[in-house]
Structure 1
Amino acid sequence: MTQPGHLYGIGVGPGDPELMTLKAVRLLDRVAVVAYLGPEGGDSSARAIAAEFIPAGRTEIAIAMPMRPGREPVEIYDKAAGEIAAHLEDGRDVAVLCEGDPFFYGSFMYLHDRLGGRFPCTIVPGIASITACAAAAAVPLVRRDATLTVLPATLDDPSLEARLANADAAAIMKVGRHLARIRALLERLGRIEGAFYVERATRPDQRVRPLAQLAAPDAPYFSMILLPERSKS
């Protein structure tokens, strides 16, 4: 009986290939199959990050993902899990690439839900976008006993306002088309001064601006607003 293959969820970091871990690079050199998500009709960001570490001749599974709001597209993950499972059942190890960290807003978690209980699985953590953005902006987020609140920009204004009310520091992720709305909310709450906008952290087209100086009406998906720890005085 064939031993099942091993499933790896590999965090490839925020964008700079030099920020991939040694473990991620080592595993990519030995697995038989590499899978990754990408937008329908577009290139996979995760694969682009890891490209130089994927040896020629590897079997690749490109998972085309519709970019739409709402719950994860169950049928896409079911189909991808079935394709990956076929390789694992035949004894081939599979690495699934994931931007940032696999278990921090990572797409891999939905495949892990479907496959993690059936096959041996290892999660390789990656540098998360939140720490990459803080480094890009040179903004310390929290210190000592302060707390950090992580929020998706997709929440409505009342939900964001309620969670920000007692937040020492905050990171607002998935800004995209919500930029103008979030900027207006923070201005109304008196939290815009000291806030930073970061897009595509660690990538060649990285951009960092004080949020108060940003006039653009929208932002790319890979963008974040950082609210550093506010004064206790």
Structure 2
Amino acid sequence: MSAGTIYGVGLGPGDPDLISVRADRLLRNSRHVAFFRKPGRSGQARNIVNGIIPRDAVEFPMEYPVTTEIPIQDPRYNELLSAFYESCAAHLKSITDRGDDVVVLCEGDPFFYGSFMHLYSRLREYSKVEIVPAITGMSGAWTATGDPITWGDDILTVLVGTLPEEVLTERMAQTDALVVMKIGRNIDKVKRSLQSAGLYDRAWIVEYAQMPNQRVCKLSENCEGITPYFSIIIVHGQGRRP
């Protein structure tokens, strides 16, 4: 095991006030900070910690080689991302091999649909890795709607918009409450599945949950201008209550 520690630090849904006490302590004392971003962008995770990490911290931006440019079914997609994660993991390990700690910024919770998991699986056998859990993006989204997500015995299902339409429709029809993530270019497919499952009129879309530019809209109403890529769809349960 390396001498230093890699910290996968969850930052929550976007509001710096929702960062945990432990995460805040690690951030304010960090010497090395790594984070994911698209080329040419500052990165959502990095934006959340503006003014929190030390000015002299060494930053390591990990720039995705591909996001939506090619379909995820294309063999090149996994090849490019696999090489990218291998390279990032090797760099983080080199930092801890010197005895230094490194904080990896994670939007939401590190173990919930996050890129950090791909580093964790590559590093856990060779480096000390600690996870700092956080409020998930979906929790921030359903809170933004102003209504509870589940009641009584409601079953909550979390789906990703990248699933085939028939799978989305089947799983939606079987649940009481619903969260749909990774919408992006799949928005039309997701809408069709919601309509087929009879949930469309109950669905909300939340963009930039718990951030200054947050927008909340009933999906069946005029949601013009909302960017599906940064959004989560919510369908509230209607279950047992006293």
TM-score, structure 1 length as denominator?
Answer: 0.93
Instruction: Select which of 96, 102, 124 maps to 1:88.
Output: 96
- Residue equivalent to 2:208: 200
- Residue 67 of structure 2 corresponds to 67
User: Which residue pairs with 2:35 in the alignment?
Assistant: 36
The more displaced of 93-102 and 192-201 is 192-201
Question: Partners in 1 of 2:16 and 2:148 — Cα distance?
Answer: 23
Q: Report the more deviating stretch, 89-98 or 28-37.
A: 28-37
| CA shift digits 1:210-232 (9 cap, x unpaired) | 11103549734220111111457
Which residue of 2 is the match for residue 112 of structure 1? 120
1:183 maps to what in 2? 191
How far has the Cα of 1:14 moved from its partner? Answer: 1.1
- Counterpart mapping for 1:130-145 below 5 A: 130-145=138-153
Is 1:209 matched with 2:209? no
| 2:11 paired residue number | 12
Structure 2: how far apart are the matches of 1:24 and 1:6?
A: 14
Q: Is 1:136–1:208's contact at 8 Å kept on the other side of the alignment?
A: yes
Q: What fraction of aligned residue pairs are identical, expressed as a percent?
A: 36
Where structure 1 has 5 or more consecutive residues not aligned to the other structure, the ranges are: none
How has the CA–CA distance of structure 1 residues 218 and 17 changed in structure 2, closer, same or farther, with 3 Å as cutoff? Answer: closer
The DSSP-based 3-state class of the residue aligned with 1:36 is strand
The Cα shift of 1:187 comes to 2.1
Runs of 4+ aligned residues of structure 1 deviating over 6 Å after TM superposition are none
SS for the counterpart of 2:49 is helix
- Equivalent residue, structure 2, for 1:47: 46
Q: State the match for 2:237 in structure 1.
A: 229
Q: Would the aligned equivalents of 2:215 and 2:226 in 1 still touch at CA under 8 Å?
A: no
Q: Is the 8 A contact 2:32 2:102 kept in 1?
A: yes
Q: Which runs of 5+ in 2 are unaligned?
A: none
Question: For 1:127-174, what per-residue CA distance to the aligned partner results, in whole angstroms no more than 9, with x for missing partners?
Answer: 101100011011211122221100001111101011112111110111
In structure 2, C-alpha distance between the alignment counterparts of 1:74 and 1:94, rounded to whole Å: 21
Partner amino acid for 1:58?
A: A
Q: What is the TM-score with the length of structure 2 in the denominator?
A: 0.90
Where does residue 98 of structure 1 map in the other structure?
106
Distance 1:156 1:218 in 2: 23
Which segment is superposed worse, 41-50 or 69-78? 69-78
Kindly provide the CA deviation profile for residues 36-82 of structure 1, in whole angstroms up to 9, marking residues without a partner as x.
00012222110110122110111111000121342650111111111
Deviation at 1:29, TM superposition (A): 2.0
2:210 alignment partner, SS class: coil
SS at match of 1:61: strand
Mapped to 2, the partners of 1:35 and 1:55 lie a distance apart of: 13
Amino acid at match of 2:174: N
Q: How many residues align?
A: 231
